[in-house]
Amino acid sequence: MAARTAPEQALAWIDAGQRVALATVIETWGSAPRRVGAQLVVSGEGQMEGSVSGGCVEGAVVIEALEALEQGDTRLLEYGVSDGDAFAVGLACGGTIRILVEPVGEAGMPEAMLRDLVAARAERRPVAYEVALDGSARRLVHEGHEDRFRMDRSGVDADGKTFIAIHNPPLRLIVVGGVHIAQHLVGMARSTGFDPVVVDPREAFGAQARFPDARVINDWPDAALEAIGLDARCAVVLLTHDPKLDDPAITCALRSKAFYIGALGSTRTHGARVARLAEAGFAEHEIGRIHGPIGLNIGAAGPAEIAVAILAEMIQTLRQS
């Protein structure tokens, strides 16, 4: 979902006086197109946002969600090629998915719990939603699933009876330098789930008109990054090619838990950067966190392709490290 994720959309509809059900992918096999944890939110009026497949089963899930709202029950659904119903809804590509449908309210997830979940997400606090597959128990926890938080991986627990939905803080991209590459990167990153922030004290570069879909901060990078706050869900990309701007930002990033730090520049430029950081007291393993020259080596030519290479490296680092 672009503007809101499922929990936020569910709460918005509830505040507008509508009934809501959440459908969540809890297990997949084969070529199911959405990963575990993907959600579809359905209103009592039949509106839907999000998805649980590539469009194969959404229609059937909406019907089940509306019935769950009427009958007040939690439902566990399964669609696959071995299921005759699957062909009726179009899932004939060799995949199987299990989906948990929960009304919000007394019959499912309590509204107060949904509000707490949305609040935790807004405050960038990792939270896990534990729900018994029979709908008998639910709770929010902030500890106890360190591996799942680190890997951003929801799933059914070892007992086979409990689903754990991981809600990490939204991914955030901080770009230092409002250059042409940044204009392409910001749009691509937003479409893949990142919340972009552009930092550049040079107002001609860091102009809101150049980045209409991003937050823009016209301040020195070290002050801006300190104010933003960097955590393990942040990627920091340095594009100014100017040590006066890049180095203070790198210093902040290296002292944080940011999962990705990348800096534009040639091998020679990066070598000089490494020497400056070593002289400033950073250890070799700390400096080694920097991806420089930035981006996957795909032979990128031009700002748009360089942005693709950077985004690909960010995602690779996030998902494979």
The residue with greater pLDDT, 83 or 36, is 36
Share of the chain above pLDDT 70, in %: 93
Task: Write the CB contacts of 284 (distance below 8 Å, at least 6 apart in sequence).
Answer: 278
* Average pLDDT along the chain: 91
Domains of the chain, each with CATH number or no CATH: 6-167 (no CATH), 171-320 (3.40.50.720)
221 preceded by a cis bond (ω within 30 of 0)? no
Q: What is the pLDDT of residue 3?
A: 39
How far apart are alpha carbons 278 and 308 in whole angstroms? 30
pLDDT-derived band at 317 (thresholds 50, 70, 90) equals very high
How far apart are alpha carbons 177 and 180 in whole angstroms? 9
| pLDDT single digits (tens) 197-226 | 999 999 999 999 999 989 999 999 999 999
Q: For the residues 107-128, what does the mean pLDDT come to? A: 94
Q: What is the pLDDT of residue 319?
A: 84
| pLDDT single digits (tens) 228-262 | 999 989 999 999 989 999 999 999 999 999 999 99
Which is nearest to 239 in space by CA: 182, 302, 311, 296?
182
Q: What is the pLDDT of residue 86?
A: 46
Which is nearest to 157 in space by CA: 29, 12, 14, 26?
26
How far apart are alpha carbons 141 and 229 in whole angstroms? 23
Give CA separation, 303 vs 4, 208, 241, 264, in Å.
29, 19, 14, 12
Q: Are 133 and 162 in contact (CB under 8 A)?
A: yes
Q: For the residues 4-26, what does the mean pLDDT come to? A: 94
Bridge-partner residues for 131, per DSSP?
138, 163
Q: What is the pLDDT of residue 245?
A: 94
Task: Write the CB contacts of 131 (distance below 8 Å, at least 6 apart in sequence).
Answer: 100, 102, 109, 137, 138, 162, 163, 165
Lowest-confidence pick of 18-32, 105-119, 233-247, 293-307: 18-32
| pLDDT single digits (tens) 64-115 | 999 999 999 999 999 875 545 544 544 555 568 899 999 999 889 999 999 9
